[in-house]
Structure 1
């Protein structure tokens, strides 16, 4: 695949990831929407953590989107996704739709980064079948 198209595809994936995280997770938490607090309560979180988690998510997203810190942002996001997965396991949520959702987001996030950053492609090369 042409490097130009790979880069553009990476920006598209990263942009879609960013929009999803902003709309589905960060915004409800930072805006104090009741659904965010209710969801956290259903998962067993005590009241008062919603805003802090929203700020952490926004910080990770900004780090991910800034080229000089994109790997740091991706690594921090994976830690956040791991915690979300642990919460879903503890809550007894379904495996493929809830528990593994962090893995799906992580693959999407790293896929966008891999496509748009040649240094990441060099670090994790794709080896085709010979």
Structure 2
């Protein structure tokens, strides 16, 4: 696979993730009926659920902007980890947040070679002088 193909694939996956999570965030921010029902089922107030939407959209924006993409990846990973835990606590299906988490990391591995090197490179450099 060429570098250009990987780059395009990474951006396509990132764009799809961004669209799905942005839709979810705006649903929470505008306090739609569906979002309020979901928040109530988790025991959250409308204000708290709106705040989660703001955190979600900020994380998505950081993920999509190349310079802050690694930070956005970590924030989305944390956010989705919380979503998985909340779904588990309330006996709800966890397939969707897990799938999104997997695709976030696939996109991150493709888009950010420095992250991939950090995660999979076991080489340790010694900066001390002899």
Is the TM-score greater than 0.5?
A: yes
Q: Could you give the per-residue CA deviations for residues 93-115 of structure 1, whole angstroms, max 9, x where no partner exists?
A: 2xxxx224322111101111221
* 8 Å Cα contact 1:7/1:117 also seen in 2: no
* 8 Å Cα contact 2:29/2:54 also seen in 1: yes
**Map of 1:84 onto structure 2:** 83
CA displacement at 1:51 relative to structure 2:
1.2
* 8 Å Cα contact 1:57/1:77 also seen in 2: yes
1:113 aligns with 2:108: yes
Q: Say which SS state the counterpart of residue 32 (structure 1) adopts.
A: coil
Give the distance between the partners of 2:111 and 2:89, measured in 1 at CA. 35
Q: Spell out the pairing of 1:93-112 with structure 2 (5 A cutoff).
A: 93=92, 98-112=93-107
Q: Could you give the per-residue CA deviations for residues 16-52 of structure 1, whole angstroms, max 9, x where no partner exists?
A: 10011112x1111122212111111112223421210
* 8 Å Cα contact 2:77/2:104 also seen in 1: no
**Map of 1:22 onto structure 2:** 22
Taking CA–CA contacts closer than 8 Å with sequence separation of 6 or more, which of the two structures ends up with the larger relative contact order?
1
1:51 aligns with 2:46: no
**Map of 2:2 onto structure 1:** 2
When the two chains are superposed, the root-mean-square deviation of aligned CA atoms in Å is 1.8
* 8 Å Cα contact 1:44/1:91 also seen in 2: no
Q: Which moved more, 1:101-110 or 1:57-66?
A: 101-110
Alignment size in residue pairs: 121
Q: TM-score, normalised by structure 1?
A: 0.83
- Structure 2 unmatched runs, 5+: 121-130
Q: TM-score, normalised by structure 2?
A: 0.83
CA displacement at 1:85 relative to structure 2:
1.1
CA displacement at 1:71 relative to structure 2:
0.9
